[in-house]
Structures are given as structure tokens and as C-alpha cells.
Structure 1
């Protein structure tokens, strides 16, 4: 069995590792996009302007109600179609081009993560002690200083468990991009299964790799939570 995972022409070890690298890259690139979008949507949903609140709540409602794979198909095909239309307008002789599966995966997963992150962040902001904010204003802090010194550290601590769960879910959701021909871990596993006709062996290996990534993430997240909660007195 182990010769199936050898490197070089005799096994599938190098292909599986390349797929694993693509999966990790996809998750790492998607995370900041999702968090940035989450902050924007959370701010909109808490805005005093009704129009912004409507857009923020509407975005989270729609995105959380759609299957991730459907969002992926819409982005991959819709953005690709839009790009070809624009290219044809600019240069009628330009040949049609395919939209990058990696970019489509980043955009689609980022949109989904952003919707869920917005709700996590909104709950964290609403958990802030208003008395601390008023105290900051009383001592002459600007709104920017209040955000950096009072709001952001506490929001990060409150939101970190929920954002950690989103990260782990996103790691597993990256497997969806295999359906748009991105050579991630799941797609390379499917290719190996198709050639060797040994589905149990390769799918089990993929399970172990996804599980290892999730366990490593949980260890890192636990340390981040302890660091974010340093100095916080816990009730006994």
C-alpha cells in the first residue's frame, strides 16, 4: 500500500502533497478576504442608516441561506461570463478566456466566510461594555483611539472562538473547489482513485490529512484564545 504514496513516477505522493499545498494556499488567501468583508458587513448591519442596515442584514441572510457549492458555481460561471463580455467589448477579436478556478474559489469562499464572520463580529461588538466606551470618551479619547484601545482588543477576544470555527469549516469547504477543476487535495485524490481503483486507500489518506490540518488549527486557535484572554479574571 505504501508504494502508492511514493514520490516520482511510481506513486502519488507528490501529487497528493501538491494538492494539499493548493488547499492550504486557498484557505490562507481566503481568510483575510472573508474577515475584511465580515467587518464591512458587520459595520453596515450596525449602522444608524437604515439603507446600510438593510444591505448588511440582507447580505448575511442571502449568503447564509445559499449552499456553498451553488455560490461557487455562480461565481465561477458568472464572473467568467462577465469577464468575457468585457473583453469582447474592449477587443471584439479577443478569444474567450477561462476564469481562474483558484480565484473563483477565493471569491466564493470569501463571500461565504464574510457572511458568517459578520454575524460573529456583530455579536462581539454588541457584547462590549458601553461603560468602558463612555469612560474613554470622558478622558478625551478620539473615536479612533477608542476603537483601537478599547473595542478591537475585546471584540477580538469575544469573536475568536466563533472565527476559529469558521476557519476550520472553511478548511473543509475547500474540498468543494474540486468540482471546478482546481487541483486541490480532494481533486488530486479523485484522480488517484480513478487511476489506481483504490478508493478506500486514497480517501482515507485524504481524511487523515484534513483531520491533521483541523487538529493543528485547533491547537493554534487554543493558544490564540489563551493569549487574547490574558489578564482577564475568570469567575471561580
Structure 2
């Protein structure tokens, strides 16, 4: 069977399965990125706060998550969470292994991991702000919440976009690690196809092309977003 037939959408073709798996990869990375943005924003706020306990917790979070392998975090969440769930289920007379949803674990793991990196991106963007604009907002009578929404958040987002783009690209590639939980994402689907047809080069090359297409579109999207955010800026 030729490569075009293998990767096509006809009988025996794997094109539809690969595209569906690519959609799973994209959804997994996107959800993880959004969860990470929330966690990163909270951690950045804690690191910039005047409360020592909050700063210590946030510093511990970013140091720990950036210092251990991403695969270890996924293992701990999936197998540790499943073991805890199995223990709880055993209290109600349910025996055997109770697995957590692979997609949900993947989103949580990627969110926790990316949140540690996004926290530093947000913190650096805030420290790079022109304090004169904040002082000007206070001078015209804006309260703290309005300053945060109308001045600080847009300026931080504009400055943080390049760093967030890098985090997103890393997260896309890290999504392949979630296959250890049994989730059929792009790389896992390529492995299944390669094992079933004994055509590993064809399937891994196709998976690489799909990853490259996603990352290329992402780079273009972030470039457009940066240009839009910096319009009118000196």
C-alpha cells in the first residue's frame, strides 16, 4: 500500500484518524494553556504581593514545577490520582483499578506545568511596565480595580505575548507526553498506525508534518496578535 493510500481518507486510509488525533492534541494544548494562564496569573500576583506566605507558596510552585520533568508530573497526577480515587472507591466496596479520564488529567498536568512558566512571563511583563502610566491613571481618579482592567492588564498582555507564544509552542510538543495515560493524541495515533502497518517512517513523517503545520499557524497567529497589541505603541 502506497503512502498516499495509507494517509488518505479512503478504505484502509489513516488520514481521518490522524486528523482527529491532531484535533485532540490541539484541544489538549489549548485547554492546558488556558488553565495555565489562570494559574500563572494567580502565581504572578502572589509573587508580586506584599504578603510573604503568598510569595513563598508561589515561589515554591514555580521552582518545583520548572525543576522536575514534565513526564513525572503527568505520572504523579494520573497514577497518584487514580490510586487515591481507587482508595476512596474501596471504602464503598468498589474493587479494582479506577482510572481518571486521560484527557482531564492531561489538561490538568499541562495546565499546572505551563502555569509555572506563564507566572514568570506575567511577572516579568508587569515589572517592565512604565510606572508613569499607572501614576497617571491614579491621578485622574481611577480606583485599583479599574487601573488593573484598563491599564495594567492590557499592558502586561502586550508585553507578555512573545513569552506566551514560546510557552504555547512548548506546550504543544509536551502534549505528546500525555499519551502515557492512554490518550489517543497525534503521536500516539502515529504509533498505532506505524505498528499496525509496519510503516513507521510514513506515519511519523505525517505526524511531524501535522505538528509543523500547527506550530506554523500558531507562530503566525501570535505574530498577528503582537502586531495588533502594539499598534500605536512607540
TM-score, normalised relative to structure 2: 0.95
Counterparts of 2:206 and 2:60, CA distance in 1:
40
**Does structure 1 retain, via aligned residues, the 8 Å contact 2:125–2:159?**
yes
State the partner residue of 1:48.
50
**Does structure 1 retain, via aligned residues, the 8 Å contact 2:21–2:184?**
yes
State the partner residue of 1:67.
69
State the partner residue of 1:180.
181
Counterparts of 2:142 and 2:220, CA distance in 1:
37
Residues 4 and 57 of structure 1: CA distance in aligned 2, closer, same or farther (over 3 Å): same
Equivalent of residue 82 in structure 2, options 80, 83, 91:
80
Which runs of 5 or more residues in structure 2 are unaligned?
none
State the partner residue of 1:133.
134
Summarize the alignment of residues 217-228 of structure 1 with structure 2, pairs less than 5 Å apart: 217-228=218-229
Counterparts of 2:100 and 2:87, CA distance in 1:
12
Root-mean-square deviation over aligned CA pairs: 1.3
Alpha-carbon distance, 1:85 to partner: 2.1
State the partner residue of 2:17.
15
Summarize the alignment of residues 1-236 of structure 1 with structure 2, pairs less than 5 Å apart: 1-89=3-91, 91-93=92-94, 96-233=97-234
**Does structure 1 retain, via aligned residues, the 8 Å contact 2:83–2:97?**
no
TM-score, normalised relative to structure 1: 0.94
Count how many residue pairs are aligned between Structure 1 and Structure 2: 232
